[in-house]
């Protein structure tokens, strides 16, 4: 991990839950995919979620920006309860940025247009201002010189950095990452993790689904383990990795470490 890692230790504000999930359940039809999820996330806190494939990690973070609906329990994001009342959806999407495994850039738009689309059409930001903001974030992910290119002309690592910049253009208060490096060739993983570390240093609240355990150790305040739709345990990285409590966690860690 690079030297930035050392500084990624901004103090979490106490008594400042930005996300509160209480006794939450979700079903896909008859399939009980999330069970009794309770999780509080504080402002500037960084959480890494790991667990086997199919354990519900993606579904959980997709519930936090309402890409998926839950059926039972409560999710509150920055004071807004996620309910069937559709009025709050746009607010939530602006509040909570999401970065996916497969980047999800629009292939027919330039990098710059990918970044300005949301601010111009959703936020009603004037184009010139949206472009200034876009260039600011492209600089931040060190890719400004690619602004006029199309996604297909960029490497996977560059596309993922663009996807992160695109999320930041909406000025989110929370960023969700769903296995942001798992579709990348190994040599590109570090450039994306470095951008995420720099975001952490800026104080961004982050929930990251990832099996990059080096990143988890150095950047996370808490690591959670999910299995069969439950949060089995969660702890500081040191306690989590050095002294896992549950057999399922031990088995999982023995398989990936
Ligand atoms: P993870 O991200 O931990 O791999 P997911 O949240 O993607 O797990 O999926 C959890 C479970 O829910 C899996 O068994 C998956 O097949 C199932 N699942 C995911 N999305 C849907 C869906 N839209 N409809 C039905 N089942 C789904
Ligand atoms: Mg997933």
Instruction: Quote the tokens at residue 21.
Output: 């999930």
- State both tokens at 79: 């004071």
Classify residue 107 as exposed, middle or buried by CB count within 10 Å of its CB (0-12, 13-18, 19+). Answer: exposed
Residue 28: how many other CB atoms lie within 10 Å: 10
Q: How many Å lie between the centroid of ligand 1 and the Cα of residue 34?
A: 10
For residue range 240-257, what is the model confidence (pLDDT) as tens digits? Answer: 999 999 999 999 999 987
Ligand nearest to the Cα of 228, by number: 1
- Tell me which residue range forms the domain holding 199: 17-255
Q: What is the pLDDT of residues 176-222, one digit of tens each?
A: 999 999 999 999 999 999 999 999 999 999 999 999 999 999 999 99
The rounded Å distance from CA 55 to ligand 2 centre is 8
Q: Which regions in the chain score pLDDT beneath 50?
A: 1-8
Within 13 Å, how many C-alpha atoms sit on residue 162's CB side?
Answer: 31
Ligand 2 center–CA 129 separation, angstroms: 35
* Residue 197 resides in a domain: yes
Tell me whether residue 198 is in a domain: yes
Separation between Cα atoms, residue 38 and residue 102, nearest integer Å? 28
CB-ligand 1 contact for 55 (6 Å cutoff) = yes
State which ligand 1 atom lies nearest to the alpha carbon of 29: 25
Cα separation, 60 vs 12, in Å, equals 22
What is the pLDDT at residue 17?
93
Is 7 within the bounds of a domain? Answer: no
Structural contact between residues 165 and 140, judged by C-beta atoms closer than 8 angstroms: yes
- Which residues are close to ligand 2, an ion, with C-beta < 5 A? 58
Question: pTM value?
Answer: 0.93
45 vs 39: CA distance, rounded Å: 12
Closest CA to 179 of 226, 129, 233: 226
134 lies in a domain?
yes
Ligand 2 centre to CA of 122 (Å) is 27
Establish whether residue 57 lines the binding site of ligand 1, counting it when its CB lies within 6 angstroms of any ligand atom.
yes
Strands of 205-209's sheet, edge to edge?
Answer: 96-99, 174-178, 205-209, 46-50, 222-227, 230-235
Residue 12 lies in a domain: no
DSSP string, 149-209: S-GGGS-HHHHHHHHHHHHHTT--SEEEEESTTTTS-HHHHHHHHHHHHHHHHTT-EEEEE
Residue 238's alpha-carbon distances to 97, 189, 218, in angstroms, are: 28, 23, 9
For helices 186-201 and 156-168, give the axis angle rounded to 10 degrees.
Answer: 20
Interval between CA 212 and ligand 2 midpoint (Å): 14
Identify whether 90 is part of a domain.
yes
State the Cα–Cα distance between residues 89 and 221, nearest whole angstrom. 28
Q: Is 84 in the pocket of ligand 1 (CB under 6 A)?
A: no
Percent of the chain surpassing pLDDT 90: 87
Cβ of 28 below 6 Å from ligand 1:
yes
Neighbours of 36 (CB within 10 A): 14
The length of the chain is 257
- Cβ partners under 8 Å of residue 251, min gap 6: none
pLDDT given at position 257: 78
CATH number assigned to the domain comprising residue 153: 3.40.50.300
The residues that bridge with 42 in the sheet, in sequence order, are 17
Which of the ligands is closest to the CA of residue 54?
A: 1
Question: For residue 170, is it within any domain?
Answer: yes
- End-to-end distance of the chain based on CA atoms, in angstroms? 16
Number of domains in the chain: 1
Q: Is the CB of 254 under 6 A from ligand 1?
A: no
The pLDDT of residue 94: 84
Residue 148 lies in a domain: yes
């Amino acid at each position: 991990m690079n030297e930035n890692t050392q500084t990624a230790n901004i103090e979490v504000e106490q008594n400042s839950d930005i996300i509160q999930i209480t006794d939450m359940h979700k079903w896909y039809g008859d399939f009980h995919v999330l069970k009794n999820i309770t999780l509080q996330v504080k402002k500037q806190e960084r959480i890494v979620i790991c667990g086997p494939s199919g354990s519900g990690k993606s579904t959980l973070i997709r519930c936090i920006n309402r890409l998926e609906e839950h059926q039972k329990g409560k999710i509150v994001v920055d004071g807004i309860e996620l309910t069937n009342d559709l009025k709050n959806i746009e607010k939530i999407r602006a509040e909570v940025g999401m970065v996916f495994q497969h980047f999800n850039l629009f292939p027919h738009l330039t990098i710059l247009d990918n970044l300005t689309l949301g601010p111009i059409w959703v936020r009603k930001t004037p184009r010139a201002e949206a472009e200034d903001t876009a260039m600011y974030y492209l600089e931040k992910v060190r890719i400004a010189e690619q602004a006029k290119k199309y996604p297909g002309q960029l490497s996977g690592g560059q596309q993922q950095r663009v996807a992160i910049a695109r999320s930041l253009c909406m000025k989110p208060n929370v960023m969700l990452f769903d296995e942001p490096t798992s579709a990348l060739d190994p040599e590109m993983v570090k450039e994306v993790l470095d951008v995420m570390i720099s975001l952490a240093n800026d104080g961004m609240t982050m929930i990251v689904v990832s099996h990059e355990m080096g990143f988890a150790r150095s950047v996370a305040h808490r690591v959670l383990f999910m299995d069969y739709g439950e949060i089995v345990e969660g702890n500081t990285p040191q306690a989590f990795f050095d002294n896992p409590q549950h057999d399922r966690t031990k088995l999982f860690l023995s398989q990936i470490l």
